[in-house]
Structure 1
Amino acid sequence: MKVYVSADMEGVTGVVDAEDVQPPGRDYERSRVLMTEDVNAAVRGAYAAGATGVLVNDAHGPMRNLLPDLLDPRARLIKGRPKPMGMIEGLTPEYDAALCIGYHSRAGVLGVLSHSFMGHEIEDIWLDDQLTGEIGLFHATAAAYGVPVAVLTGDDTACDELKSWDPTVSTVPVKFAKDRFAAELVPVDQARAAIESTTTAALANLTPPTQPRTSQTLSVRWQSASVPSHLTAIPGVTRRDDRTVTGDMLHLYRLFNLFLRVCTAVTSNPPYC
């Protein structure tokens, strides 16, 4: 059994603030350790369930957050950017299951560090007619590959968000949101034990992935009208209104990463502002 892990940072055990997840934040280096240990708990759980290989993709921000010297040596790591498929770099149909470690809820939800890819710049995303964020897009793309999402860890709002997409996925709330930068934390040892045991149980009882819809349209509403005016230069992208672009996404993540690069060039707002 081959297991794929996509590791974000905002939903990691103990993390609540931008200073925790953005270099050179005062607690960023400590949060790198917390992130690595959450991933290690998932790796241990995967091997306890009979995994023959685990690939971990560092999916947060600079994508240079996980500490290779502290990572379980049985796992292989994809580190750095740019990566054509971003948060799902390395995922292929050969994997038997995918795990989302440290994920967060979408923009507009009162979850810990909630946003969709670019903090303040993206107001909403729809996959067909359903509001989504990074969680929904990951799930939809994994399903297109035929890979079931087995586990998600994050705060309670992130767990609820994935359950709304697929109630068969096992979730581990490692904190409970009080506001966007505050949470009631599950004790670290308890959270890691839950990640490990839940991963083992979920992989031992895999269910087939939700079948992808035959036609998926991705729509993105930006804060700045300047971004859509540039994005319409991409073939297949149209403007629904001054701040919303839409298009058929055959390769969702590859095209969406191009959106982010254009937005970065056009705007200068830092995340979480």
Structure 2
Amino acid sequence: MKILISADMEGATGVTWPADCEPGTEQWQRCRVMFTSDVNAAIAGLFEGGATEVLVNEAHSTMRNLLLEELDERATMITGRHKELSMIEGVQTGDVDGIVFLGYHCGAGDEGVLAHTYLPNAITGVWLDGEPASEGRLNAAVVAEYGTPVILVTGDDRACEDAESYAPFARTVAVKDHVSRYAARCRPPARTAADIRVAAERSMTLAGRIDPVDPAHKAMEIEVDSAQLAQAAAIVPGVTRTGARRVRYTSPDAYEMIRAFKTVTTMISNHMEKDYG
């Protein structure tokens, strides 16, 4: 049984503030340890549940946050940016029996600790086929086309609630409870590691190849906080403006949907200025 862990950081143990997950800050260095602890707990539980291979894909920011030297030696890790499928790199091999969304969070415009979708600001809402879409929902749509089930989701309590809408059978572990976008009631790492390990072991009962979802057209709508960013997004072929601050595009399947979304968000981030956005 081969399992992929997509490891994001905003939903990791103890992370509540931008500096906690911004590479290069003192707080980021501290929180990297707790992030790695969450991942190691998941790895341990997965192997205890019957996994024979665990691949970790770094999914946060620079994608160089986990401490490789502290990683469970039974696992391997993809680290670094500019990957074909970004947060879920590795699933496209077609032999992944289950995926863990670790350290996930709510989407842009929603209530949750450090809630956002791809960009920490600028994007105020994302909709997939008319439904509000977090990164979890977007990524779940892609892995379904490869016949890979989502078996475990960890994050704050709101992220776990969000997971019920796109992966209703997955196990969930709340490592903290939402108080505000920048505050949470946190469990200590010793406790969250134990909770994640148990849930990961139990989640292996959900692992196994499933029938791939037939590729179907996906309609994406993105709202940003200024008109000039919508203009920037519309530079991408196939993307059209539907309002002063909204753009829309349609892809033939989820694979192309997520790749186009990465392109659109790159254009948006490259057209932002420090003071005026």
Q: TM-score, normalised by structure 1?
A: 0.93
CA distance in 2 between counterparts of 1:81 and 1:161 reads 26
Amino acid at match of 1:101: L
Corresponding residue number in structure 2 for 1:204: 205
d(CA) in 1 for partners of 2:211, 2:171:
13
CA distance in 1, matches of 2:152, 2:161: 12
- After superposition, residues 9-158 of structure 1 pair within 5 angstroms as 9-92=9-92, 93-158=94-159
Distance 1:81 1:213 in 2: 26
1:221 alignment partner in structure 2: 223
> Structure 1 residues 75 and 122, CA, compared in 2 at 3 Å: closer, same or farther?
same
- Which position in structure 2 is the counterpart of 1:167? 168
> Which piece of structure 1 moves more, 2-11 or 45-54?
45-54
Does 1:248 pair with 2:253? no
Which segments of 5 or more consecutive residues in structure 1 lack a partner in the other structure?
none
Deviation (angstroms), 1:84: 2.7
Per the TM alignment, residue 213 of structure 1 is displaced from its structure 2 partner at its CA by: 7.1
Q: 2:263 aligns with which of 258, 264, 268?
A: 258
| In 2, Cα distance between equivalents of 1:17 and 1:265 | 23
Aligned match of 1:238: 240
1:106 Cα deviation (Å)? Answer: 0.9
Displacement after TM superposition at 1:233 (Å) = 3.0
Q: Which amino acid in 1 is paired with 2:260?
A: L
Question: What amino acid is the match of 1:121?
Answer: A
Looking at structure 2, the residues matched to 20 and 8 of structure 1 have their Cα atoms a distance apart, in angstroms, of 13
**RMSD between aligned alpha carbons?**
1.9
Q: Flag the 1:183–1:210 CA change in 2: closer, same or farther, 3 A.
A: farther
For residues 4-34 of structure 1, what are the alpha-carbon distances to aligned partners after superposition, in whole Å with 9 as ceiling and x for unaligned?
Answer: 0100001111111112111232311011111
Q: 1:209 to 1:39 in 2, by over 3 A?
A: farther
- Secondary structure of the equivalent of 1:69? helix
Contact 2:146/2:212, CA 8 A, preserved across alignment: no
Q: CA contact under 8 A between 2:9 and 2:104: conserved in structure 1? A: yes
- Report how many residues are paired: 271
User: Helix, strand or coil: the match of 2:91?
Assistant: coil
Superposition deviation, residue 269 in structure 1 = 4.9
Deviation, 1:52, is 1.5
Letter in 2 for 1:90: G
Alignment partner of 1:192 is 2:193: yes
Mapped to 2, the partners of 1:193 and 1:153 lie a distance apart of 13
* 8 Å contact kept, 2:148–2:212: no
Shift of 1:187: 2.6
Alignment deviations for residues 121-175 of structure 1 (CA, whole Å, 9 cap, x no partner): 1010000010012111011111122110000000000000111223211100010
Task: For residue 211 of structure 1, report the CA deviation from its aligned partner.
Answer: 4.1
8 Å CA contact retained: 1:6, 1:58 = yes
Contact 1:166 1:210 (C-alpha < 8 Å) held by counterparts: no
Give the whole-Å Cα distance in 2 for the aligned partners of 1:217 and 1:57. Answer: 27
Q: Which residue type is aligned with residue 42 of structure 2? A: A
Q: Distance in 2 between matches of 1:103 and 1:234?
A: 28
What are the residue-to-residue correspondences of 1:174-185 with 2, within 5 Å?
A: 174-185=175-186
- How far is 1:222 from its partner? 1.2
- State the secondary structure of the residue aligned to 1:27: helix
Supply the distance in 1 between the matched residues of 2:245 and 2:211 (Cα, whole angstroms).
33
* Letter of the structure 1 residue corresponding to residue 262 of structure 2: N
Query: 1:3 corresponds to which letter in structure 2?
Result: I
